Structure formats: structure tokens, C-alpha cells
Amino acid sequence: MKNFDIPLRMRRLRANTGIRAMLKETQLVPAQLIQPIFVTEGETPEAVASMPGVERLPIPLLVEKCRELVSLGVYGVALFPKTPDEKKTPDGREATNPDCLICRAIRAVKAAVPECVIFADIALDPYTTHGHDGVINAAGTDVDNDASVEILCRMAVENARAGADFVAPSDMMDGRIAAIREALDAAGLTQTGILAYSAKFASAFYGPFRDAVGSKKNAPNKVTGLTKKTYQLAPANRREAIREALADEAECADMVMVKPAGVYLDVIRDVRENTLLPLAAYQVSGEYAQIQAAAQLGWLDLKACRDESLLAIRRAGADLILTYFAEAYARDWQNSGE
């Protein structure tokens, strides 16, 4: 058979395993992953039905899980509480209790696994009866930005005092990064970092997470029109996401984040090109659940799709990825001998 006269043959660079490994442009190692973990009271783990393989962990099991993760090279964990219903209030005051579930969890992990890097979620939705990320104004028509920021500052200080390495405001209130930085510094917590959920979109992919933390009472109010869309970003808006990230950088965030990740790869790239800060992206519960569900039906290869989805997020520009796949990916990485 005649060979074509093709001097440029790109396939030479894909010819065998060794060449492909040498020329791999994007690397994904366990240390670049952060494992989100749901924390519950009591002594028994609780399965999250909409997230196969994910459980809410009581504090003793949380400590063991963090020790395990560090041994696998996953140093970061993001902790989210399932607050008992009887402790939820309209103003979410339990969030500022120094002995709340998440503060006790942080102290326990730091005492047992000091090298574990803890990211503490700062938002009121796990603590409020209405499921919003802040407190609602007297008219019931909107989340009160400034009143919410005041509470979030107190919450951030208590989480930092408990030992969190980073507080991670996920509420999307205006001005909260500067206010939290000021509150932390005033409390002498100058070494506590801030990971800002800068571009958090009003996404349909958060459903399983809300199951996990018991925060589902946030459907649009038919009377007032109150919805999370009044503070989370519109999925159609790229430029606004960049503005949010740059505003958080100006307010002294140490890292910024895009959430969700997989359907916002363009935004990850946009933010990456506009800031020198470390950039995180959150592969959210719905992204995790859809891969798991399709794999359970035999429609997709779980491991291959997991790895491809994570690699895409890294390739788009994320330095760190929050993902429920972190532990499984790290185990496979360790077993591969890489």
C-alpha cells in the first residue's frame, strides 16, 4: 500500500505509553484534590441516598477518614454539617455557637490529624429553617445582605478559633470577604486564610448536596419571589463571574473558586486568565451523582469518566478541585504506583 507524502505526522507523539506519559500536558495528583465531607451528630454514619458511596460521618469516623485521606496524599477536606432540625432557626444562630457540630468536628480533626488542611464552609443554609444562605429581611422579600454578613463574620471567627486553616464563604453576599478578613484580623486570627466562593452560580446541580445537609426549604417563594437567584450568579453570565472574582481578590481573598465546575469550564478559564491567585473549582454533588448513576446503569465507565471530568477541570485552569471523587481517585493513584 502506498504511503502518503505527509511529513507532519502528529501521531508520532502518541505512538506508545512512554511517549504519551512524557508529553502529558496536564497532571492531576491527589494533593490537588479536596474531599468534601458531611458531618452528623451521633455515632452512626448515614448514607446520602442521592450520592452513591457518600455518607454523613459522626465526628469519630470523620477523624479516621481525615487520617486516611492524608495517608493517601489528599490533605484538604471541606466540612459541611447536617444541623439537627431542632437547632435550626430563621436567623441561623447555631452557626455562631463555638460548640456547634462543625466547631467540635474541626477541633477533633486538628487534634488528631494536624496536617489535615480544613476548609470550613461559611454560609447559613445548614442552620436556617428556610434554607437560605443568609437571614431574610423583615418584609420577607429578600436575603438581608449586611445583616447576613455580620453573622457570617462571627461564624468565620468561631470556625477559625476551632482550628480551620481556611474559612470558605459560600454565601455570595456583597462585601463579605473584606468584612470577614477584618473580623479575623481583629480576633488575632491573621494566619487563617479565606477561600472565596467567588463565582457561585444559581445552578440546578446542587440538589444532592441539599439532601446531604438537610437544606431543601429554599424553593422560590410564590408570594415574595424570594429565591437564591437574588444572590447567586446567573448561569448565563461570564463577565459578571470575573468581576466577582476580582472583587474578592481586592478584598484580600487568599484563593477564589468557581462552582460548579464541569458545566462552567469556560468560566474557570476566564477567571484563571484574570487573576494570579490560586483557583479552586467545585465538582458539585449533581456532577458526581450523574456520573455515578450512569455508571450504575452500565452506560458509562465510572473510573474513566471520573478521571476525564477531573482532568478537564484541571486543564481549564483550576489549581485545586473539590470533588467527592477525591478519595477514590487517590486510592487508584496510589495503587498505580505513580
The question of whether 24 is a catalytic residue gets the answer no
The answer to whether the peptide bond before residue 260 is cis (omega within 30 degrees of 0) is yes
Burial 127-163 (b: 16+ CB within 10 A, else e): bbebbbbbbbeeeeebbbbebbbbbbbbbbbbbbbbb
C-alpha cell at 93: 444562630
Cα(14)–Cα(9) distance, rounded to whole angstroms? 10
Cα(122)–Cα(100) distance, rounded to whole angstroms? 13
The question of whether 200 is a catalytic residue gets the answer yes
Quick check: 92 and 127 in contact, CB under 8 A? yes
β 117-122/166-169 pair status: parallel
Cα(109)–Cα(181) distance, rounded to whole angstroms? 24
What is the residue type of 266? D
Inter-helix orientation angle 285-296/302-316, to 10°: 150
Report which secondary-structure segment, H or E, holds 10. Answer: none
Partners of 46 in beta bridges:
56
Q: Where does the chain show beta strands of DSSP type E?
A: 33-39, 46-47, 55-57, 76-81, 117-122, 166-169, 193-200, 255-259, 279-283, 320-323
Of the residues 2, 200, 217, 303, which is catalytic? 200
User: CA separation (Å) from 245 to 169, 179, 305, 334?
Assistant: 13, 16, 29, 34
Q: Which residue has the cell 467527592?
A: 324
Cα(262)–Cα(1) distance, rounded to whole angstroms? 44
Which residues carry out catalysis? 200, 259
